[in-house]
């Protein structure tokens, strides 16, 4: 479904150049959920944005990307934009504050010249567990979890095949996180979606995905199955340290932490 | 070994000393045009020389509790309590001068994001020195010596360089170590840390906590650690208060959190995705928290 070969992303030029993504290759099967994990600055979000075509104006992107049989050009095709949708991290920053939920949801439908927009909006809201009364509210009138549901509904409205999820629950309380993760799992089952999930939270990735790549300093350190992750079956010291750290505070283990080259 | 020693010291200290801080029936109310908002409703606890965790979701009143102790409740907020005492001082009746002495010198607070809590136009060294000089009569050269010593104590490798640096020149983890140094230098007895490491990457977070942990146990201080992260609190603290809707739902020892009884605590624990995939390995559906209004009512009747 998704095939990325030797992706490189460089911000800036000359001496100022910053190599944010180095030689990243990955493949995601249709209907799979693929996780990208790493600490801040590891380049995981940049890979996602490069795939979505959000970086071409601000960075030099090179490498071959194929999505659903279509080899991606710098200018993404309209059908690509319909088939690939994204959900962003911050449910506060990613919804227009002066647009009602109805406007937010109907905009992508209008852009793609879809029919029956009103029915689509109501149906999308229902899919994410919000009733039609939410249509005429503004983002500031609903809670963080509800906003993230609206973001998911916005992604669904064009009937995509692939949804790119950038830390979709890291701004939410754990009880709300559970609801949103359950929602995402159900939608994936019902619509046969393919997910690429970026997260710093290994437990969330283990819950959602089948395969994951661990990133550090712009490169993929290791690609492994979630089963391997659960069994702590990793040969790479960086992954092992990340796993240890994810288990909680252990005074003894911390002294053994290493700095990994930056 | 070191861990066993420090816990023995803590137990001994607890037997000998009276609590550092007593909070009894604390209420924080905000009067708004749409009526009073009860942010904290009847919270009681005592803090000894230990690490006490306060865990809860957003809006549970955990941060408001921490702020009320230091008299940092925002204007418009009203703080009431049957007792709010730091050692022998009644914090509710203390005058401004006494409160200024206690803030920093007796109880100090570490906030979430060093980017916003450090002064951007003052070097790191000067800021830490200032914290020291406000609470002592020592000379400037002495302040400088103590500052460098403190930067070393929070495991900053090049204290001289960091001393001269501005906050934007240091990383998030370093910024939080600097905050710890600044809060520790007046030698307070209690530290209130409000989500001190939530903005940091997980490995850096643990390294910063290790610095805090070591200093707290070496100096026999009390720590109130406020966080939304159950796993972290359970592994880092000695004792936990679980807050919801401005009230304490349950109190337990950190190592017994897994056996917690209150349905809210159980609900929170169950809705966490688990790295090991849970008992049955089926990872399809996470338990969803069902909130019961009775959790808040029964407590109100009791108090």
Given CB atoms, is A114 within the 8 Å cutoff of chain B? no
Per-residue pLDDT band at B7 (split at 50, 70, 90): low
**pTM summary value:** 0.87
Interchain contact, A206 vs B275, CB within 8 Å: yes
Residue whose structure tokens are 């001068």: B97
The rounded distance, in Å, linking the Cα atoms of A197 and B205 is 23
Residue numbers in B near A208 (CB within 8 A)? 273
Instruction: Please name the member of B236, B273, B288 whose beta carbon is closest to the beta carbon of A203.
Output: B273
Q: Helix B140-153 crosses helix B124-134 at what angle (to 10 degrees)?
A: 110
pLDDT at B49: 94
Inter-chain residue contact B210 with A254, CB threshold 8 Å: yes
Residues A149-191: tens digit of each pLDDT? 999 999 999 999 999 999 999 888 999 999 999 999 999 999 9
Instruction: Of B203, B176, B189, give the one whose Cα is nearest residue B111.
Output: B176
Which of B7, B202, B291 has the most A C-beta neighbours within 10 Å, making it the best mutation to test the interface with A? B202
Q: Where are the beta strands (DSSP E) in A103-248?
A: 162-166, 194-199, 211-216, 219-225
B131: its two tokens = 């914290």
Which one of B235, B284, B288 has the shortest CB-CB distance to A179?
B288
Tell me the β-bridge partners of B38. Answer: B29
Q: Which pLDDT value is given to residue B16?
A: 52
More confident residue, B53 or B281: B53
Residue A243 reports pLDDT greater than 50 = yes
Nearest residue in A to B155, CA atom: A255
pLDDT higher than threshold 60 for residue B280: no
Q: Work out whether strand A84-87 and strand A33-37 pair parallel, antiparallel, or are unpaired.
A: unpaired
* Stretch (H or E) spanning A45: helix A44-52
B52 Cβ neighbours under 8 A, 6+ residues apart: B45, B222, B223, B224, B225, B237, B238, B239, B240, B241
Q: In percent, how much of chain A has pLDDT > 90?
A: 77
**A173 → closest Cβ in B58, B205, B284:** B58
Task: Please check the confidence at residue B303 and state whether its pLDDT lies above 50.
Answer: no
Report the side by side order of strands in the sheet with A162-166: A84-87, A162-166, A194-199, A33-37, A211-216, A219-225
The residue among A91 and A146 whose pLDDT is bigger is A146
According to CATH, what is the number of the domain B19-302?
3.40.50.300
Q: Which of B118, B117, B143 is nearest to B130 (CA)?
A: B143
pLDDT of residue A22: 95
Distance from CA of B292 to the nearest CA of A (A): 14
**Per-residue model confidence (pLDDT) at position B56:** 92
Q: How many beta-carbon pairs below 8 A join chains A and B?
A: 98
Contact at 8 Å (CB) between B29 and B37?
yes
Q: Which two tokens stand for residue B21?
A: 């801080």
A173 contacts B272? CB cut-off 8 A:
no
Indicate the SS3 state at residue A85. strand
Residues in chain A within 8 Å Cβ distance of B228? 173-174
The residue in chain A having the minimum alpha-carbon distance to the alpha carbon of residue B228 is: A173
pLDDT tens digits, A49-78 = 999 999 988 899 999 999 988 899 888 899
H-run or E-run covering B111: none
Chain A residues closer than 8 Å to B286 by CB: 178, 181-182, 207
Question: pLDDT band at B300, cuts 50/70/90?
Answer: low
Mean per-residue pLDDT, A94-102: 94
Residue with tokens 């460098």: B148
CB contact A249 to B (< 8 Å): yes
Q: List Cβ<8 Å contacts ≥24 apart for B159-168.
A: B162/B124, B162/B125, B163/B123, B163/B124, B163/B125, B164/B123, B164/B124, B164/B125, B165/B123, B165/B124, B166/B120, B166/B121, B166/B122, B166/B123, B166/B124, B167/B114, B167/B115, B167/B118, B167/B119, B167/B120, B167/B124, B168/B120
Give the Cα separation of B222 and B219 in Å (integer). 9
CB B203 within 8 A of CB A242: yes
Would you state the pLDDT for residue A259? 82
The contacts found for A11-20 with CB under 8 angstroms, 24 or more apart, are A11/A58, A11/A59, A19/A218, A20/A46, A20/A59, A20/A218
Instruction: Round to whole Å and give the CA distance between B233 and B209.
Output: 11
pLDDT digits (tens, 9 = 90+) for B18-65: 799 999 999 999 998 898 999 999 999 999 999 999 999 988 999 999
Give mean pLDDT, residues A241-259: 90
Tell whether A256 lies on the interface with B, counting CB pairs under 8 A: no
Q: In Å, how far is A86's CA from the nearest CA of chain B? A: 22
CA distance B270 to chain A (A): 9
On the CB side of B220, how many CA atoms lie within 13 Å of its CA?
12
Sign of the torsion formed by the C-alpha atoms of B64, B69, B74 and B80:
positive
When the pLDDT of each residue in chain A is averaged and rounded to a whole number, the result is 92
Q: Which of A38, A167, A170, A178 is the mutation pick for testing B, counting most B CBs within 10 A?
A: A178
Q: Structure tokens of A237?
A: 């010291």
pLDDT confidence band for A40 (50 / 70 / 90): confident
The confidence score (pLDDT) of residue B212 equals: 93
In sequence order, which residues have a C-beta less than 8 Å from that of residue A173 and are 6 or more positions away? A144, A145, B57, B58, B228
- Is pLDDT of B231 > 80? yes
Domain extent listing, chain B = 19-302
Residue A41: exposure state from Cβ atoms within 10 A (0-12, 13-18, ≥19): middle
Tell me the shortest Cα–Cα distance from B206 to chain A, in angstroms. 6
pLDDT: is A256 or B6 the higher one? A256
For residue A144, which residues of chain B lie inside 8 Å, CB to CB?
Answer: 58
Which string of DSSP letters, residue by residue, matches A148-175? HHHHHHHHHTT--SEEEEESTTTTS-HH
Mean pLDDT throughout B198-227? 92
State residue B302's pLDDT score: 46
Residue B201 has what pLDDT? 87
Considering only CA atoms, which of B213, B183, B41, B44 is closest in space to residue B105?
Answer: B183
Bridge partners of B107, per DSSP, are B103, B190
Closest CA relative to residue A216, chosen from A90, A38, A68: A38
Query: How many of the other CB atoms lie within 10 Å of CB of B113?
Result: 16
Nearest to B202 among A206, A246, A252 (CB): A246
User: Which 3-state string (H, E, C) describes B90-110?
Assistant: ECCCCCHHHHHHHHHHCEEEE
B295 alpha-carbon distance from chain centroid: 25
Rounded to a whole number, what is the distance in Å from the CA of A143 to chain B's nearest CA?
A: 11
Q: Which domains does chain A have, with CATH numbers?
A: 2-248 (3.40.50.300)
Q: Are B55 and B241 in contact, with CB atoms under 8 Å apart? A: yes
Q: Write down the ipTM of this complex.
A: 0.85
Contacts of A149 in chain B (CB under 8 A): none
Mean confidence (pLDDT) of chain B: 88
Give the mean pLDDT of B178-206.
92
A39, A178, A200: residue with CB nearest B288: A178
Q: What gap in Å lies between CA B254 and CA B210, rounded to an integer?
A: 17
Q: What is the pLDDT of residue B27?
A: 96
Q: What is the DSSP string of B32-79?
A: ETTEEEEEEEEEEEEE-SSEEEEE--TTSSHHHHHHHHTT-PPTTEEE
């Amino acid at each position: 479904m998704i095939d990325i070969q030797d992706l490189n992303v460089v911000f800036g030029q000359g001496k100022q150049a910053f190599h944010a993504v180095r030689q990243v290759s990955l493949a995601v099967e249709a209907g799979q959920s693929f996780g990208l994990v790493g600490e801040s600055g590891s380049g995981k979000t940049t890979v996602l944005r490069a795939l979505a075509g959000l970086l071409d104006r601000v960075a030099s992107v090179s490498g071959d990307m194929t999505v659903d049989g279509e080899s991606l050009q710098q200018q993404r095709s309209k059908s690509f934009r319909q088939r690939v949708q994204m959900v962003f991290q911050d449910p506060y920053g990613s919804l227009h504050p002066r647009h009602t939920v109805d406007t937010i949801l109907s905009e992508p439908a209008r852009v793609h010249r879809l029919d029956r927009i009103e029915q689509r909006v109501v149906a999308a809201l229902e899919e994410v567990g919000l009733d039609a009364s939410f249509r005429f509210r503004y983002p500031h009138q609903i809670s963080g979890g509800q906003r993230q549901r609206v973001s998911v509904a916005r992604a669904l409205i064009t009937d995509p095949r692939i949804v790119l999820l950038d830390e979709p629950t890291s701004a939410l309380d754990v009880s709300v996180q559970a609801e949103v993760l359950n929602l995402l799992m159900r939608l994936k089952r019902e619509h046969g979606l393919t997910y690429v999930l970026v997260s710093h939270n290994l437990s969330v990735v283990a819950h959602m995905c089948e395969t994951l790549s661990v990133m550090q300093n712009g490169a993929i350190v290791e690609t492994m199955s979630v089963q391997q992750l659960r069994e702590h079956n990793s040969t790479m010291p960086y992954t092992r340290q990340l796993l240890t750290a994810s288990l909680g505070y252990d005074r003894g283990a911390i002294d053994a932490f290493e700095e990994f080259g930056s | 070994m070191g861990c066993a020693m420090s816990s023995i010291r803590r137990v001994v200290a607890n037997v000998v000393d009276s609590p550092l801080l007593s909070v009894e029936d604390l209420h924080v109310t905000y009067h708004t045009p749409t009526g009073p908002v009860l942010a904290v409703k009847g919270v009681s606890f005592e803090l000894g020389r230990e690490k006490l965790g306060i865990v809860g979701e957003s809006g549970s009143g955990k941060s408001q509790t921490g702020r009320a102790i230091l008299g940092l409740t925002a204007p418009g907020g009203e703080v009431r309590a049957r007792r709010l005492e730091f050692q022998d001082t009644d914090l509710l009746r203390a005058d401004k001068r006494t409160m200024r002495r206690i803030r920093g010198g007796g109880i100090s607070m570490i906030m979430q994001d060093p980017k916003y809590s450090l002064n951007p136009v003052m070097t790191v060294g000067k800021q830490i020195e200032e914290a020291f000089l406000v609470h002592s009569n020592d000379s400037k050269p002495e302040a400088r010596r103590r500052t460098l010593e403190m930067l070393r104590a929070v495991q900053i490798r090049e204290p001289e360089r960091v001393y001269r640096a501005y906050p934007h020149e240091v990383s998030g983890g370093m910024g939080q170590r600097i905050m710890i140094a600044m809060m520790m230098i007046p030698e307070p007895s209690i530290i209130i840390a409000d989500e001190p490491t939530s903005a940091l990457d997980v490995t850096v977070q643990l390294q910063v906590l290790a610095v805090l942990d070591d200093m707290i146990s070496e100096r026999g201080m009390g720590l109130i650690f406020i966080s939304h992260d159950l796993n972290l609190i359970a592994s880092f603290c000695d004792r936990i208060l679980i807050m919801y809707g401005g009230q304490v739902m349950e109190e337990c020892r950190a190592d017994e959190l897994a056996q917690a009884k209150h349905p809210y605590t159980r609900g929170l624990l169950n809705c966490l995705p688990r790295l090991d995939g849970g008992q049955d390995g089926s990872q399809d559906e996470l338990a969803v928290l069902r909130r019961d209004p009775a959790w808040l009512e029964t407590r109100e009747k009791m108090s």
